[in-house]
């Protein structure tokens, strides 16, 4: 069975603050993929990043960075110098083994205040 | 079209009625997925098509739910005898092809259909 836990439900920060969104996963598969999606108020899921289980290198893309640690089964997402446009619900998701379906966490609602 | 499209964007129906939700995937994408997102929750998998066939329907909650993809492109999710608990946003996604254990093709999501059962 696969499971994704996003323990934080709501986070509120002031613009320009850094914020980290936590994600912990469970899977018995040796090969798996992890994802982060953003869901703005418009409702459409926007893909942010994919990591496979063999690549533990951290990644940075502009103000976004991701920290993948297999030892703690975590895939955390940090937004540096947050902006109001970052306000959205963020989902972590897992795809394991030969399954094609994504298993999502419950999401974290991020509010960035001006 | 440029992305996954879903119609209608909103559907209000009465308990016990039949509804159909349509998904038009990105052209050339052979894999198509349906998910359901209840308020305050993450999307939950319903069914996955590879071409015309349902490769995995393990997420369908009961036999009132059925989906088809007769020509390997557009898909229709059908719900019979709707119940208030079926109210949710139904999301469709497509990808270039299905996945294997060693490879993955990104799923692109549509805007969803918000179903409200009164």
3-state secondary structure of B19: strand
Q: To the nearest whole percent, how much of chain A has pLDDT over 90?
A: 75
Residues on chain B touching A99 (C-beta within 8 angstroms): 56, 99
Average pLDDT over residues A60-69: 91
pLDDT tens, position by position, A11-53: 999 999 999 999 999 999 888 999 999 999 888 899 998 888 8
3-state secondary structure of B62: coil
Give the C-alpha separation, B58 to A35, whole Å: 22
Residues 6+ apart with CB under 8 A from A38: A45, A46, A48, A88, A89, A90, A91
Per-residue pLDDT, B98: 58
CB nearest B42 (choices: A50, A95, A107): A107
> What is the SS3 assignment for chain A?
CCEEECCCCEEEEECCCCEEECCEEECCCCCEEEEEEEECCCCCCEEEEEEECCCCCCEEECCEEEEEEHHHCEEEEEECCCCHHHCEEEEEEEEECCCCCCEECCCEEEEEEC
Rounded to a whole number, what is the distance in Å from the CA of A15 to chain B's nearest CA?
24
Residue A98 pLDDT class (50, 70, 90 cuts): low
Average pLDDT over residues A81-95: 96
- State the distance between the two ends of chain B, measured CA to CA, in whole angstroms: 33
Give the C-alpha separation, B90 to A97, whole Å: 25
Give the C-alpha separation, B32 to B106, whole Å: 11
Q: Does the pLDDT at position A62 exceed 80?
A: yes
Query: CB contact, 8 Å: B56 with chain A?
Result: yes
CB nearest B109 (choices: A45, A52, A97): A45
Query: CB contact, 8 Å: A99 with chain B?
Result: yes
Residues on chain A touching B45 (C-beta within 8 angstroms): 101-103
Residues on chain A touching B93 (C-beta within 8 angstroms): 45
Per-residue pLDDT, B94: 92
Which residue has better confidence, A13 or A96? A13
Average pLDDT over residues A61-83: 94
Which of B62, B1, B71 is CA-nearest to residue B32? Answer: B71
Per-residue pLDDT, A91: 98
Per-residue pLDDT, B19: 98
Residues on chain B touching A107 (C-beta within 8 angstroms): 40-42
Asked if the Cβ–Cβ distance from B109 to A31 is below 8 Å, we say no
Rounded to a whole number, what is the distance in Å from the CA of B19 to chain A's nearest CA?
21
Per-residue pLDDT, A43: 87
Which residues of chain B register pLDDT less than 70?
1, 98-104
């Amino acid at each position: 069975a696969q499971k994704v836990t996003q323990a934080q439900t709501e986070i509120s920060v002031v613009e320009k603050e850094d914020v980290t969104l936590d994600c912990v996963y469970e899977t018995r598969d040796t090969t798996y993929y992890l994802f982060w999606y953003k869901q703005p108020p418009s409702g459409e899921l926007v893909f942010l990043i994919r990591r496979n289980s063999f690549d533990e290198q951290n990644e940075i893309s502009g103000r976004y960075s991701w920290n993948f640690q297999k030892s703690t089964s975590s895939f955390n997402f940090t937004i540096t110098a947050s902006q109001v446009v970052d306000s959205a619900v963020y989902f972590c998701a897992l795809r394991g083994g030969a399954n094609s379906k994504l298993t999502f966490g419950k999401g974290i609602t991020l509010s960035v205040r001006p | 079209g440029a992305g996954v499209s879903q119609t209608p964007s909103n559907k209000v129906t009465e308990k016990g009625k039949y509804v159909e939700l349509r998904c038009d995937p990105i052209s050339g994408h052979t894999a198509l997925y349906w998910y359901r997102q209840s308020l305050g929750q993450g999307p939950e998998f319903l069914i996955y098509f590879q071409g015309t066939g349902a490769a995995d329907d393990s997420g369908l909650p009961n036999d009132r739910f059925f989906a088809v993809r007769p020509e390997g492109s557009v898909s229709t999710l059908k719900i019979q005898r709707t119940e208030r608990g079926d109210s949710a946003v139904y999301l469709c996604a497509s990808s270039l092809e299905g996945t294997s254990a060693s490879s993955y093709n990104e799923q692109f999501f549509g805007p969803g259909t918000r179903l409200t059962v009164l």
